Structure 1
C-alpha cells in the first residue's frame, strides 16, 4: 500500500535574517525619498501652501476647483488622448517591424541594431532635433515641392501640433517595443508555421491564428508600459512645443511642474494626487482586462 499522506501542516521555511539586512537599505531609501514626500505632498494638497512660508487648511477646496478648471480639464483630455493614440501607433509599427525582421532576410541583424538607436538618445535631444525638422526642414521641403498644407510648421498649428508629439514619442519608444516583440517571436517554434503552411494557411492566417495568440502576453507588457510612459510625457513635449500653441499640447505633467514653480504648489499637489489615482485606475483596468493572458515560452 502507498504511504498515507501526512496530515501535519507543512513547516514554514525559515527566512535567513541576512535577506532582511540587504532589503532594509533599499526600503529605507524608498520610504525616505518616495513615500514620505508623497504623504507630505498629499497633506499640503488640502492647504493653500505655495512652497514656502505659512499656510492654512482649505479642506477639499483645491480638489473641487480642479474639476471646474478648464486648463486642468484640457490637460487631462490631451494627455489621455495622446497616450491612447501613441500607444496604438507605436505597437502596430513595432509589431510590424518585428515580424518583418524575424523573417529570413539579408541584413536582419544590422537592421535590428539601427532600429534601436532612438532608444538610447535622450528625449529632450530628440525633441529639439525634430523641432528643427518640423520648423525648418519640413516647411522648406513642402515649399519646394508645392505642398501648401506643410509650408508652415505644424508646431504652430493648435490642431496639428499634437501629431508631431505623437510622431516623436512613437519614434522614440518603438525600439523598446520592437525588442520585446522580437523576443516573443523568437520563442515561437518554426514547426507551427511549417505545419500550417502544409495545411494551406496563408501568411495572414498564420499571423492571426498563430503569431498573435502566442505573443498576446508580450502585447500586454508593451501596452501597459507604453500607457504608463505616455501618461507621464514631459521632455518630448517641452522640447517640441513647450505646451503650445497656447495650451493646446500642455500635458498633466507639464501643468503640475509649472504650478510647482509658479506659486500653485498646493493646488498642483491636488492635481498630482488626482492624476496618481487616475493612473492607478487605468493600470488596474488594464490588468483586469488582460488577466490570464500570460507569456507562454
Structure 2
C-alpha cells in the first residue's frame, strides 16, 4: 500500500516545497518586516511593533488608495459580469460563425495586460482625441487619462474590456450545462424570454455567477498593471491603487516595512471580501 502511495508523495512534496519557498516564506518575512522600520536594504533596522499599522490608519494617501480601489473594483465587477453574461447568452444562441466569435471574444484574455494598457494609452492620447475633435465631441477631444476626475474611467474601460473574455467563457460553460428540454417545456408553456431567463437560465448558472463575481472582484482589488501602463497612479494620486502604492512606496520610496504592513492589511481585506462574497452568493444559490 505504501509503495502505491509513494508516487503521489513524490508529486506532492516538490510542489509543497516550491509553494512554501516562493510564496509562504516571503509572506511570513513580510509580516516580520512589517513590525520593524526596515527600509528595504542593509541590515540596520529596529523592531517597532504595531507602529506601522497604527500609522496606516492616519495616512491620507493610504485612505485615498483604498477608496479608489474599492470604487474601481465595484464598478468593474458589475460591468464585467453584466456584459460577459449578455455576450455569453448571445454566443450560446444558434447563430452563424459562433465559434469564430467565441475565439474573438476570448482574444483579450491571452494578451499581456501591460501591452493592452500601453495600446489603450496611445489610443486615449492620440487617436480618440483626434476623432473627438473631428466629430465635434467635446468629451473625446481631450485625453481622459489627463483628467484628475475622469482618469479612473479610462482605467475601468481597459479593465472591463480585457476582463470580459474570461468571464464570458465561464458563463458559456455554465449555459451549456442547461438541458435544452427545459427551454422546450417553457416554450410550450408560453413563457417569455425574460421569464425564461429568470426562472431557468439564471438559477441554473448561479454557481458560475458566484465564481465569476468572486474572481472579478479579487482581480479588480489587485489592479496594478493597468495603472502602471495607463496613468502610473496619476494625475497626482487620483488613480493610485493599493497595489501600486505598496509597490512604489515599498521599492521606490524607502517604505519597505511600512508598505509591508499595508500589504498584510490588504491581504486580510481581500480575504474577508472574498469570503463574504462566497458566503452570501452560495446562500443565494440555495434559496433560488
TM-score of the two chains, using structure 1 as the length reference: 0.92
The residue that corresponds to 2:48 in the other structure is 58
CA–CA distance in structure 2, aligned partners of residues 78 and 281 of structure 1? 18
The residue that corresponds to 2:260 in the other structure is 269
Q: Deviations over 1:11-54 (max 9, x none)?
A: xx998243223211111111111111111111111111001220
CA–CA distance in structure 2, aligned partners of residues 98 and 242 of structure 1? 33
Q: Deviations over 1:193-251 (max 9, x none)?
A: 11111111111111111110000000011111111111111111110111111000000
CA–CA distance in structure 1, aligned partners of residues 97 and 3 of structure 2? 53
Q: 2:93 matched to 1:103?
A: yes
CA–CA distance in structure 2, aligned partners of residues 16 and 131 of structure 1? 53
Q: Deviations over 1:46-81 (max 9, x none)?
A: 111001220011111111110010000010111111
TM-score of the two chains, using structure 2 as the length reference: 0.95
Unaligned runs of 5+ in 1: 1-12
Q: Contact between 2:203 and 2:285, CA under 8 Å: does it hold in 1?
A: no
How far the C-alpha of 1:293 sits from its partner, in A, is 6.2
Greater radius of gyration (CA): 1
Q: 2:269 matched to 1:284?
A: no
How far the C-alpha of 1:183 sits from its partner, in A, is 0.7
Q: Secondary structure at the match of 1:207?
A: helix
CA–CA distance in structure 2, aligned partners of residues 249 and 269 of structure 1? 21
Q: Contact between 1:217 and 1:293, CA under 8 Å: does it hold in 2?
A: no
How far the C-alpha of 1:292 sits from its partner, in A, is 5.0
CA–CA distance in structure 1, aligned partners of residues 4 and 236 of structure 2? 58
Q: Contact between 2:210 and 2:282, CA under 8 Å: does it hold in 1?
A: no
CA–CA distance in structure 2, aligned partners of residues 271 and 75 of structure 1? 11
CA–CA distance in structure 2, aligned partners of residues 294 and 183 of structure 1? 18
Q: How does 1:242-253 map to 2 (within 5 A)?
A: 242-253=232-243
Unaligned runs of 5+ in 2: none
The residue that corresponds to 1:8 in the other structure is none
Alignment RMSD:
1.6
CA–CA distance in structure 1, aligned partners of residues 6 and 278 of structure 2? 34
Q: 2:27 matched to 1:25?
A: no
The residue that corresponds to 1:79 in the other structure is 69
The residue that corresponds to 1:183 in the other structure is 173
Q: Contact between 1:143 and 1:151, CA under 8 Å: does it hold in 2?
A: yes
2:156 to 162, 166, 189: 166
The residue that corresponds to 1:7 in the other structure is none
CA–CA distance in structure 2, aligned partners of residues 291 and 106 of structure 1? 36
Q: Secondary structure at the match of 2:282?
A: coil
CA–CA distance in structure 2, aligned partners of residues 160 and 50 of structure 1? 34
The residue that corresponds to 1:223 in the other structure is 213
**Alignment length (residue pairs):** 283
